[in-house]
Amino acid sequence: MPYDPPRDVCVSAPTGSGKTLAYVLPIVEILSTRIVTRLRALVVLPTRDLVTQVRETFEAVGKGRGLKIGTATGHHSFAHEQSQLVADKSLELQGGSSKVDILICTPGRLIDHLHGTPNFSLQHLRFLVVDEADRLLAQSFQDWLAEVLAAVRPPPNPLPLPVISSALLPYPDALAPSFLHPHIPTDLDETKEPSCQKLLFSATLTSDPGKLKALGLREAKYFVVRSADGEQEGVAEGVAMEKFTMPATLREHMIVCESALKPLMLLYLIHHHGVKNALVFTKSAESTARLVRLVEFFEDAWAKGQGDRRARKIVARAYSSDLPPGERRGILEQFRKGEVDMLVASDLISRGIDISSVSHVVSYDVPVDMRKYVHRVGRTARAGREGDAWTLVEEQEARYFKSILKAANHLERVKRMRVSEKDTQDLSPFYDTALARLREVFSRAS
């Protein structure tokens, strides 16, 4: 009701626990009764891949409801996006003119439309969803948040009523109620509140009100979902060092080794612990490329060594933001089908991506902080499935890595696995061959 605007909602719940449906379902349910199309739900996400994923969920849930769903990510030209978003760019309409009920977007492109698309208006917003909220709040993206919040609020000086030149031209413009009337002060004056409800989601959402202040939340309710076993008391109550809940079905391991042995440890996991359907996280695009080549050379040498032509080689592919979107989609599809066993990536896909077949996550390079760790390992053990997370820790990083786990009250959950020289003995000859080939290729390239 206009006099009782909705309370805002913050949700911190483990990775893979279904946060997307937690906002898609009510939005679709509530907006399905709308009569005319206005931009009523805006979902902001940090990456294009996530926009595509959330769009698919909206389309699946909203099928047959007649809601129009749009995206704005910069994947298409600006003019094309404009034509998808607004019906009319020529006439200036105070109420805007939206072709979509729900818009899913990245913040940069959203700001471009706020600045550059006539009749693109947020005044009718009923829902503003900020998914992966901690990540989006941490990055300024042209101060997108302040601009979006300003576009949702009625202007301080209400818009003047247009001069109605003819009885045939009724008051035109379907302005949102809080934007509509000229302000006539009365004794019962109340400030106008937009009826936009803000919904924030993340597996690592801060509970520090100071950090959420920029959102101007209204009587926010903060929901924290913990695992059933009550593990990690005090989750999200700490302000200095936040603690987050992990999926209960996740097993976590670490291997501490010399830096030079990390590739061999990965190959050991592949060949002796059945690690496939795996996401492997590295720290840089360069280290991704080297690792993919090394796995390829190793698998060639290993298959040859088996003397069996049908020996199934592990297929690893690099997945990076440099690849064109079409190619990225293709690689993900091959991975989903099991034609690719291992995707090697930077933290680009460490957040939000939902691929049910991922059974292992390997942090080939240690994550820089606990948040990154939570999101990486959360690519497996989703929706009640089991999964394993492995972290390869260089000896000199062990102290640091353990300290971030300890601060998050999580050290006990991560089991240390010791791998001796004997364990990798059978792999070593093929590994040496692969290293020699890698050196050759990289020295030729330089």
Ligand X SMILES: Nc1ncnc2c1ncn2[C@@H]1O[C@H](COP(=O)(O)OP(=O)(O)OP(=O)(O)O)[C@@H](O)[C@H]1O
| Smallest distance, ligand X to C-beta of residue 210, A | 23
Check if the beta carbon of residue 317 is closer than 8 Å to that of residue 342.
Answer: yes
Contact between 20 and ligand X by CB under 6 A: the answer reads yes
Among 12, 16, 319, 387, binds ligand X (CB under 6 A): 16
| Smallest distance, ligand X to C-beta of residue 382, A | 5
Contact stretch for ligand X (CB under 6 A) within 18-26, 107-115, 242-250, 416-424: 18-26
Give the total residue count for the chain. Answer: 446
Among 8, 10, 19, 341, binds ligand X (CB under 6 A): 19
Phi, psi of 365 (to 5 degrees): -115, 140
| Smallest distance, ligand X to C-beta of residue 18, A | 3
| Smallest distance, ligand X to C-beta of residue 2, A | 32
Among 5, 18, 74, 216, binds ligand X (CB under 6 A): 18
Contact between 226 and ligand X by CB under 6 A: the answer reads no
| Smallest distance, ligand X to C-beta of residue 378, A | 5
Instruction: Write out the two tokens for 133.
Output: 């909220």
| Smallest distance, ligand X to C-beta of residue 440, A | 40
Phi, psi of 276 (to 5 degrees): -145, -175
Q: Report how far residue 20's alpha carbon sits from residue 16's, in angstroms, rounded to the nearest whole number.
A: 9
All residues at 6 or more sequence positions from 62 whose CB lies less than 8 Å from its CB, including other chains = 24, 28, 32, 69, 102
Query: Which residues in 277-336 contact ligand X (CB under 6 A)?
Result: none
Contact stretch for ligand X (CB under 6 A) within 10-18, 163-171, 238-246, 307-315: 10-18
What dihedral angle (degrees, nearest 10) is formed by the CA atoms of 420, 421, 426, 427? 90
- Closest CB to ligand X among 195 and 204? 204
Contact stretch for ligand X (CB under 6 A) within 13-21, 30-38, 216-224, 234-242: 13-21
The beta-carbon contacts of 292-296 under 8 Å, at least 24 apart in sequence, are 292/316, 292/317, 292/318, 292/344, 293/438, 293/441, 294/263, 294/434, 294/435, 294/438, 295/266, 295/267, 295/270, 295/342, 295/344
Contact between 21 and ligand X by CB under 6 A: the answer reads yes
CA separation (Å) from 91 to 39, 86, 94, 117, 119? 18, 11, 10, 12, 8
Check if the beta carbon of residue 398 is closer than 8 Å to that of residue 256.
Answer: yes
| Smallest distance, ligand X to C-beta of residue 22, A | 7
All residues at 6 or more sequence positions from 71 whose CB lies less than 8 Å from its CB, including other chains = 51, 52, 55, 103, 104, 105
| Smallest distance, ligand X to C-beta of residue 379, A | 7
- Rounded to whole angstroms, the maximal C-alpha distance in the chain is 91
Query: Which residues in 344-383 contact ligand X (CB under 6 A)?
Result: 352, 354, 356, 378, 382-383
# residues near ligand X by CB under 6 A? 15
Q: Report how far residue 359's alpha carbon sits from residue 276's, in angstroms, rounded to the nearest whole number.
A: 7
Give the Cα-Cα-Cα angle 93, 99, 103 (nearest 5 degrees): 110
Instruction: Count how many Cα atoms sit within 13 Å of the Cα of residue 274 in the half-sphere of its side chain.
Output: 4
Contact stretch for ligand X (CB under 6 A) within 11-19, 185-193, 245-253, 426-434: 11-19
x/- map, 194-223, ligand X, by CB under 6 A? ---------x--------------------
- Closest CB to ligand X among 21 and 241? 21
| Smallest distance, ligand X to C-beta of residue 87, A | 32
Residues near ligand X (CB under 6 A): 13, 15-21, 203, 352, 354, 356, 378, 382-383
